[in-house]
Amino acid sequence: MKCNVCKTKMKDATTEIEVLVKGRKVKALNVPAYNCPNCDKIRMDELIEKLVQTYAKGSKEATFDFAEVKPRGVGITLGKK
């Protein structure tokens, strides 16, 4: 994937993001993303953004670790360790 700002090839990374859910902030840790080594732009896949929103809505805590989330009915863990 290339950076949409400077067109440099982006590298795999993880990031933290905050999501607003019904008026409360939920922070997601270890979210898979891409980082531009040239301009430091962070970018996520649209599917990952949607998954973060979904898991944030179901989170009872103010923070959750995306790398520890397991989709229901699937024997895999999302994110990188």
Q: Can you give the C-alpha Rg of the chain in angstroms?
A: 14
Residue 65: closest CA among 74, 57, 56: 56
Using one digit for the tens of pLDDT, what is the confidence trace for 12-57? 999 999 999 999 999 999 999 999 999 999 999 999 999 999 999 9
Domains within the chain, CATH numbers bracketed: 11-68 (3.10.20)
Cβ neighbour number for residue 56 with a 10 Å cutoff = 21
24 strand-pairing partners: 21
Which one has a higher pLDDT value, 51 or 76? Answer: 51
Q: Which residues contact 10 (CB under 8 A, 6 or more apart)?
A: 1, 2, 3, 34, 35, 36, 37, 41, 43
Task: Inform me whether the pLDDT recorded for 76 exceeds 80.
Answer: no
